[in-house]
């Protein structure tokens, strides 16, 4: 369990840093643009945030793989028929479903991997909420994390 907790703390730190630096970069770019570039600013923010979330989910994917194949603290099981091996795309899909808190249930974790799964859902919800708040501020014509905000 300690390994799962340490793994979770590490992945949360990495993904939070990624998220902050993406939002900060977008905010600084918006601050340098003309005041009437609302549509471009919103497009930039939505695009960058979407890419950041996908990257963060992929980072979680790598940690799931490490937890299962390297540390052997759990397993990811498929709910359907057949004995197909779980692929990298399955792990990535599982991570995206968790990060967005969708929780489809066609893949399920076992062992201490469940802890990391719960942390990803909580952290994903937190990052998506922060992104929404950021986007609302961009729509209001502000550069939220910039000194010229």
The 3-state DSSP class for residue 112 equals: coil
| 143 closest CA partner among 44, 7, 55 | 44
- Both tokens of 109, joined, read 């974790």
> Can you tell me the distance from the alpha carbon of 68 to that of 115, in angstroms, rounded to the nearest whole number?
13
In contact, 48 and 26? CB cutoff 8 Å? yes
**pLDDT confidence band for 2 (50 / 70 / 90):** very high
**pLDDT confidence band for 1 (50 / 70 / 90):** confident
> Crossing angle for the helix pair 88-99 and 113-139, nearest 10 degrees?
60
pLDDT at 149: 54
Q: Give the H or E element holding residue 81.
A: none
CA quadruple 7, 8, 9, 10: dihedral sign: positive
Average pLDDT, the chain: 93
Please say if the pLDDT value at position 127 is more than 70: yes
What is the average pLDDT across 118-141? 96
In contact, 5 and 115? CB cutoff 8 Å? yes
Q: Distances from the Cα of 115 to the Cαs of 6, 8, 21, 51, 64, in angstroms?
A: 11, 8, 26, 25, 11
pLDDT digits (tens, 9 = 90+) for 73-112: 999 998 877 678 899 999 999 999 999 988 887 899 999 9
What is the average pLDDT across 28-44? 92
**pLDDT confidence band for 61 (50 / 70 / 90):** very high
Q: Residues of the chain with pLDDT > 70: what percent?
A: 98
In contact, 120 and 99? CB cutoff 8 Å? yes
> Can you tell me the distance from the alpha carbon of 96 to that of 20, in angstroms, rounded to the nearest whole number?
19
In contact, 124 and 99? CB cutoff 8 Å? yes
| 35 closest CA partner among 146, 140, 145 | 140
pLDDT at 5: 95
pLDDT at 147: 77
């Amino acid at each position: 369990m300690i390994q799962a907790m340490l793994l979770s703390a590490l992945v949360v730190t990495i993904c939070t840093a990624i998220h902050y630096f993406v939002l900060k970069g977008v905010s600084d770019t918006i601050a340098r643009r003309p005041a009437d570039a609302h549509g471009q600013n919103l497009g930039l923010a939505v695009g960058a945030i979407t890419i950041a979330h996908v990257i963060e989910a992929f980072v979680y994917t790598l940690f799931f793989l490490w937890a299962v194949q390297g540390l052997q603290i759990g397993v990811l099981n498929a709910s359907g028929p057949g004995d197909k091996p779980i692929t990298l795309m399955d792990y990535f899909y599982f991570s995206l479903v968790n990060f967005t808190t969708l929780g489809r249930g066609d893949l399920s974790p076992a062992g201490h991997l469940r802890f990391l799964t719960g942390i990803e859902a909580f952290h994903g919800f937190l990052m998506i909420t922060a992104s929404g708040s950021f986007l609302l501020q961009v729509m209001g014509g502000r550069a939220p994390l910039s000194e010229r905000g």
